[in-house]
């Protein structure tokens, strides 16, 4: 993949550009021109061009003659790889792994101990680790904690809103605060209701896959747009609702699974 050819440390732009030029066979003229533009970090290169057409116009000004088309292709490939590298890095940093979410009970009851590493040098470690049951119920509990935290952090009113409009029956909570509790809980209760329609053996894997996919989309839309997180959550819920359709619900008697026929397969997600 082209992304793997991007230097991992972009702080020293000249050294990074040397590596990038070598990996993507960029012409010396392109490398010199990028330096002359005053770029100082690979992430600046990520935002230097608006699109692939912009890359083509920029290369055309260098007067490379017969090599113009080839060098345009190479620079487009390098630019796309840089964009993908930083986008993926941001997304990975922004997604919260639910197995890392600690309960308040664990934080209050855990005893910290100090380990001496040297003279006047200590490190604190938890004496015990929280026992994490790998099941759908535990995953849902941690998802609830995460969504509640988002709502507490997003309780601030959005700028430019008219509080008087909140009393209107047609008012949407996402228009007034960053992350409304009702929107966050709607996501949680949809997940809880849908997963209950599955056989116990399928629940955790199915829930984790759907949840990670959807929260990854939150990250992408929030980073690339200007909407509040509450708006993003609501929009993605509506756009991806079909992905939460349960096609093989558990039998009512608990004797196994049966294939659903039509509708929302007993999930009731709408």
Residues 166 and 79 in one domain: no
Instruction: Note the pLDDT tens digit of each residue in 182-236.
Output: 999 999 999 999 999 999 999 999 999 999 999 989 988 887 788 889 999 999 9
Q: Is residue 120 part of a domain?
A: no
- Going by C-alpha positions, the residue among 92, 97, 90, 55 that lies closest to residue 76 is 55
CA distances from 95 to 92, 106, 222, 248 (A): 6, 22, 12, 28
Burial of 48 (0-12, 13-18, 19+ CB in 10 A): middle
Residues 79 and 162 in one domain: no
Residues 83 and 168 in one domain: no
Residues 33 and 84 in one domain: yes
Q: Which residues sit opposite 125 in a β-bridge? A: 113
Q: What's the rounded Cα separation, in Å, for the pair 72 and 63?
A: 12
Q: Is residue 41 part of a domain?
A: yes
Last residue of a domain, one of 94, 127, 146: 94
Q: Is residue 75 part of a domain?
A: yes
Domain count, the chain: 2
pLDDT of residue 222: 85
Last residue of a domain, one of 94, 122, 157: 94
C-beta pairs of 129-135 under 8 Å, 24+ apart in sequence? 130/102, 130/103, 130/106, 132/99, 134/204, 135/203, 135/204
Q: Is residue 215 part of a domain?
A: yes
DSSP state of 50: S
Listed in sequence order, the DSSP H helices in the chain are: 13-24, 28-36, 42-48, 52-60, 68-94, 104-109, 136-153, 181-196, 200-224, 229-239
Q: What's the rounded Cα separation, in Å, for the pair 88 and 115?
A: 36
Residues 150 and 238 in one domain: yes
Query: What average pLDDT does range 85-95 have in this prediction?
Result: 57
Model's pTM, two decimal places?
0.52
Instruction: Note the pLDDT tens digit of each residue in 43-73.
Output: 788 888 888 999 999 999 999 999 999 999 9
pLDDT of residue 246: 87
Residues 150 and 72 in one domain: no
Higher per-residue confidence, 13 vs 78: 78
Q: Is residue 79 part of a domain?
A: yes
CB 247 within 8 A of CB 266: no
**Domain containing 26: what range?**
2-94
List the single range of 112-121, 158-167, 174-183 with lowest mean pLDDT. 112-121
C-beta pairs of 246-253 under 8 Å, 24+ apart in sequence? 246/194, 246/197, 246/198, 248/198, 248/199, 248/202, 249/197, 249/198, 249/199, 250/197, 250/198, 250/199, 250/200
């Amino acid at each position: 993949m082209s992304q793997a050819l991007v230097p991992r440390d972009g702080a020293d732009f000249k050294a990074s550009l040397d590596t990038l030029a070598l990996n993507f066979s960029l012409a010396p003229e392109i490398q010199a021109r990028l330096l002359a533009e005053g770029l100082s970090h690979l992430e600046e290169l990520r935002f230097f061009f608006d699109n692939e057409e912009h890359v083509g116009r920029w290369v055309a000004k260098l007067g490379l003659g017969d090599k113009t088309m080839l060098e345009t292709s190479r620079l487009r490939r390098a630019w796309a790889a840089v964009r993908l590298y930083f986008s993926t890095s941001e997304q990975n940093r922004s997604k919260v792994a639910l197995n890392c979410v600690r309960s308040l009970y664990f934080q209050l009851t855990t005893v910290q101990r100090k380990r001496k590493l040297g003279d006047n040098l200590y490190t604190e470690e938890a004496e015990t680790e929280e026992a994490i049951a790998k099941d759908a119920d535990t995953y849902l509990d941690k998802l609830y904690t995460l969504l509640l935290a988002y709502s507490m952090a997003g309780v601030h009113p959005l700028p430019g809103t008219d509080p008087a409009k909140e009393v209107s029956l047609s008012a949407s909570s996402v228009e007034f605060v960053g992350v409304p509790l009702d929107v966050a809980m709607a996501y949680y209760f949809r997940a809880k209701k849908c997963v209950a329609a599955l056989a116990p053996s399928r629940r955790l894997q199915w829930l984790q896959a759907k949840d990670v996919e959807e929260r990854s989309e939150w990250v992408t839309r929030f980073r690339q747009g200007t909407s509040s997180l509450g708006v993003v959550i609501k929009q993605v819920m509506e756009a991806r609702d079909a992905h939460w359709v349960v096609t093989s619900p558990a039998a009512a008697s608990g004797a196994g699974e049966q294939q659903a026929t039509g509708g929302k397969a007993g999930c009731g997600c709408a």
